[in-house]
Amino acid sequence: MSAISKSIEVNEAYLREQFHHSSDVVLRSLKLKDETILLLIYIEGMTKLQGVEDNILKPLIFSGLPKGIDLIESLSEMFRREWVPLTNIKTDKSLEDLVQDILKGSLVILADGEDSAIIAQVQDYEKRGIQESQKESTLRGSKEGFVENLRTNTSMIRRRIIHQDLKMESFTIGKYTQTEVVLTYMEGKADENVLSEVRSKLGKIDTDGVIDSAYIEEWIENNSFSMFSQIQNTERPDIVTACLLEGKVALITNGTPFALILPFTFWEGLQSADDYFERFVFIILTRMIRYIMTFVSFALPAIYVAITTFHPEMVPRYLMFSIAAARENSPFPTFIEVLLMMIIFDGLQEAGIHLPNRLGPVMSIIGALIIGQAAVEAGIISTPIIIVISLTGVAGYTIARYSASLPFRIIRYLMLFITGALGFYGFAFGIIILLIHLVTLESFGTPYFSPVAPFDGKRIKDRIIRYPFWIKNGQNKKESIK
């Protein structure tokens, strides 16, 4: 560590060497009334100087150090007394630390003849205002969503949990980005083993930079090669709040609106925030529909191929006649038809995501209609295939969390290939392999398929169906409202 010199020329030379070819770093010299030379260093666009200039620098330039009952002999002492109402300040004696403070948007002031620097936290850079989450919109509930500013995000959680047991530990990750990551949890509710494991994994991350919370997710999850995410990501502070109250742990990363929640299970990926904002009797129905549609989203194409190719006797006679008549002019086997339409559907979906917001949905719908109708009229694809793929796509959209729906897109292809080769025997084999993987997977010590496997009767009541809150808390309704 290089100590700050009392010679301002030596300090200025060091800082200019560190920030050469950096046009946005400003080194500004000022001379006070008593001939003391000041050096101000800040990054243009990240520092707010108006209050500093009006309340501190101008009086110093024209009047010098203030003289009161006690004699103030150094700028450091003056700032400690005079600047406290304006901003947070600290002093430092290391040039390396000064460089880091400057890069974070602080204002650094050096005075000739003093071996310590003043660091004023007057960061002021453009940031996005709080808006509704576009990825996890709900019909009811909070409309606030996380933003890219870390302290704005942590404050939204603090406003919802007004208790001293809410803890927030800070970590700095990334050699070049120096990204701040906050580990937040409820003391006494969070599992200490999970906290220890998360702290250990965060401390072992060795990377040049962290651009998004997805970087953290890949570093700390238990099985990075699994298709299923073992960490939940969300833009909603109310979801993070609810999970913290359940004893989970959250990671909030500076520069991204997506917080990470862990541990995470398979059934939580199929839940929606609206499940807790509407009456429970309706949610029981919608959850059952969602679970059925989740199965349809990856199994329907494989089942159709198995029935029409290997096991036509399982279909009612007249229905099989209709399917055969529709496929009479089709030049491809059923497997090729289904595979071709699945690829086209996923291609249209990707195009809709990456096109501008106003064009994406329009192009996806028009593309699906034109391509589907033209393929049927040309006799390339049979009509039942269009119905199967359309229903499969709609079923996939019933999964509330986008990241939770991604594994089923891959499984859809795997099930199609194995069923296309072995029929229902292959389908059964694929389901068994999928269940074995889900049962053996863990998320920070929590079985991924719990509370179904291993079975937990107390926790399952909020996973399969949504019980009223007063039943979930194990209370009698009449007693709980007294």
Q: Are residues 398 and 354 in the same domain?
A: yes
Instruction: State yes or no: pLDDT of 314 exceeds 90.
Output: no
Residue 98: inside a domain: yes
Give how many domains the chain has, as a whole number. 3
Structure tokens at 132: 């509704």
Residue 179: inside a domain: yes
Identify the CA nearest to 227 among candidates 395, 408, 451: 408
DSSP-derived letter for residue 278 is: S
Q: Are residues 374 and 408 in the same domain?
A: yes
Q: Are residues 96 and 162 in the same domain?
A: no
Identify the CA nearest to 462 among candidates 207, 271, 323: 271
Look at the alpha carbons of 228, 230, 235, 241 in this order and tell me if their dihedral is positive or negative: positive
Q: Are residues 239 and 371 in the same domain?
A: no
Cα atoms in the 13 Å half-sphere on the side-chain side of 53 = 7
pLDDT in tens, 27-77: 988 877 667 788 889 888 888 777 666 666 666 666 655 554 444 456 666
pLDDT in tens, 204-232: 999 999 999 999 999 999 898 899 999 99
Q: Using the 3D structure, point to which of 264, 295, 326 is the last residue of a domain.
A: 264
Residue 143: inside a domain: no
Query: Over pLDDT 90: what percentage of the chain?
Result: 40
Q: Are residues 310 and 398 in the same domain?
A: yes
Q: Are residues 223 and 200 in the same domain?
A: yes
Instruction: State yes or no: pLDDT of 412 exceeds 70.
Output: yes
Residue 269: inside a domain: no
Q: Are residues 248 and 324 in the same domain?
A: no
Instruction: State yes or no: pLDDT of 478 exceeds 60.
Output: no
Q: Are residues 85 and 111 in the same domain?
A: yes
- Look up tokens 């496997």; give the residue: 453
Q: Are residues 113 and 199 in the same domain?
A: no
Q: Are residues 303 and 437 in the same domain?
A: yes
Residue 138: inside a domain: no
Identify the CA nearest to 145 among candidates 251, 9, 258: 258
Residue 11 burial by Cβ neighbours in a 10 Å radius (0-12, 13-18, 19+):
buried
Residue 387: inside a domain: yes
Q: Using the 3D structure, point to which of 78, 105, 120 is the last residue of a domain.
A: 120
Given a contact cutoff of 8 angstroms between Cβ atoms, the answer to whether 114 and 74 are in contact is yes
Residue 368: inside a domain: yes
pLDDT in tens, 114-170: 888 888 887 777 777 888 887 887 888 888 999 999 999 999 999 999 999 999 999
Q: Are residues 111 and 68 in the same domain?
A: yes
User: What pTM did the predictor assign?
Assistant: 0.84
Distance CA 11, CA 110 (A): 8
**Domain around 80:** 8-120
Q: Are residues 44 and 76 in the same domain?
A: yes
